[in-house]
Amino acid sequence: MKTLLNIANSLGSLMVLMAGGYLVIKGQTTIGTVMAFVSGFQRLSDPTGDLLDFYRTYSQAKVQYRMIIEWVAGIDASTT
């Protein structure tokens, strides 16, 4: 999932640079505008990375909680 996110972010920046570069050559925009769009894409990718990190931490905690519950249940069953 993280690989796909990195590829999507890289392709977004690459497309902006290609299209923006073409428009700069044609004189229809400026370099500053293109760099602002690239910066905007980077700012959009940061929250999605944080969301992915949160989901990974949540999934790990869920599995660990389940393992602890099974371990405690196994101790109770063996002592009775």
Total domain count for the chain? 1
- Give the pLDDT score at 40: 83
DSSP state for residue 27 in the 8-state scheme = T
- Reading the block at residue 68, the tokens are 């602890």
Q: Amino acid identity of 32?
A: G
Question: Rg (Cα) of the chain, in Å, rounded?
Answer: 23
User: Tell me: the pLDDT tens digits for 14-72?
Assistant: 888 999 999 999 999 999 999 998 888 778 777 887 888 899 999 999 999 999 999 98
- Give the pLDDT score at 77: 58
> Mutual orientation of helices 31-79 and 2-26 as an angle, nearest 10°?
180
Q: Name the residue with higher pLDDT: 12 or 1.
A: 12
- Give the pLDDT score at 79: 57
- Reading the block at residue 57, the tokens are 């931490």
Cα torsion 58, 60, 61, 66 to 10°: value is: 120
Domain residues for the domain of 8 are 2-79
